[in-house]
Amino acid sequence: MTFRIDPWMPLSSLCYSKFFKPTVGAMKDMPELQSRGNRPLQMSFQEQLQALVYFHLQGYESAQQLLQALKEDDSARQHIAPAQGIEKSSFSELINTRGLEQMLHVFKNLQASACKLIPGVDTDLGQLVAIDGSLIDATLSMHWADYRKGSKKAKVHVGFDLNHSIPRKVHLTDGNGAERSFVAKILTEGQTGVMDRGYQCHKLFDQWQQDNVLFICRIKAGTQKTILSQNPVPADSIVFFDATVLLGTAGVNQTQRSLRLVGYEVDGVKYWIATNRYDLSAEQIAQAYKLRWNIENFFAWWKRHLKVYHLIARSAYGLMIQILAGLITYLLLAIHCQQQYGEKVTIVRVRQLRTQIENELRSGPIRADNQADYVKEQKLQFVDVKT
Q: How far apart are CA 173 and CA 165, in angstroms?
A: 24
| DSSP character string of 309-367 | TS-S--SHHHHHHHHHHHHHHHHHHHHHHHHHHS----HHHHHHHHHHHHHHHHT-SPP
Q: How far apart are CA 186 and CA 208, in angstroms?
A: 13
For the chain, which domains are there?
Answer: 14-107+320-380 (no CATH), 121-297 (3.90.350.10)
**Longest Cα–Cα distance in the chain:** 78
pLDDT band at 4 (very low <50, low <70, confident <90, very high): very low
Least confident of 34-38, 61-65, 153-157: 34-38
**pLDDT of 32 above 80:** yes
**pLDDT of 119 above 50:** yes
What Å distances lie between residue 379 and 7, 21, 37, 177, 191, CA to CA? 5, 12, 35, 46, 37
Q: How far apart are CA 129 and CA 195, in angstroms?
A: 9
pLDDT at 6: 36
User: Is residue 24 within 8 Å of residue 381, measured between CB atoms?
Assistant: yes
**pLDDT of 310 above 80:** yes
Long-range contacts of 297-304 (CB under 8 A, 24+ apart): 298/158, 298/160, 298/165, 298/167, 299/132, 299/134, 299/158, 301/345, 301/347, 302/326, 302/330, 303/134
User: Is residue 227 within 8 Å of residue 243, measured between CB atoms?
Assistant: yes
Q: How far apart are CA 102 and CA 23, in angstroms?
A: 11
pLDDT band at 373 (very low <50, low <70, confident <90, very high): low
pLDDT at 13: 65
Q: In terms of pLDDT, which residue wins out, 228 or 93?
A: 228
Q: How far apart are CA 357 and CA 214, in angstroms?
A: 43
Task: Quick: pLDDT tens for 183-198.
Answer: 989 999 999 999 999 9
- Distance of alpha carbon 6 from the chain centroid: 29
Q: What is the mean pLDDT of residues 99-111?
A: 95
Least confident of 71-75, 283-287, 307-311: 71-75
**pLDDT of 245 above 80:** yes
Sorted by sequence, the CB contacts under 8 Å of residue 85 that are 6+ apart come out as: 70, 71, 77
Report the chain's mean pLDDT, rounded to a whole number. Answer: 86
pLDDT at 307: 87
Q: What is the mean pLDDT of residues 274-279?
A: 98
Integer distance in angstroms from the first to the last C-alpha of the chain?
17
pLDDT at 348: 95
Task: Quick: pLDDT tens for 196-229.
Answer: 999 999 999 999 999 999 999 999 999 999 999 9
pLDDT band at 383 (very low <50, low <70, confident <90, very high): very low
**pLDDT of 313 above 50:** yes
CA quadruple 316, 320, 321, 322: dihedral sign: positive
User: Is residue 265 within 8 Å of residue 240, measured between CB atoms?
Assistant: yes
pLDDT at 242: 98
Q: How far apart are CA 369 and CA 354, in angstroms?
A: 23
Residue 173, SS3 per DSSP: strand
**pLDDT of 3 above 70:** no
Angle CA(74)–CA(307)–CA(122) in degrees, nearest 5?
120
pLDDT at 97: 87
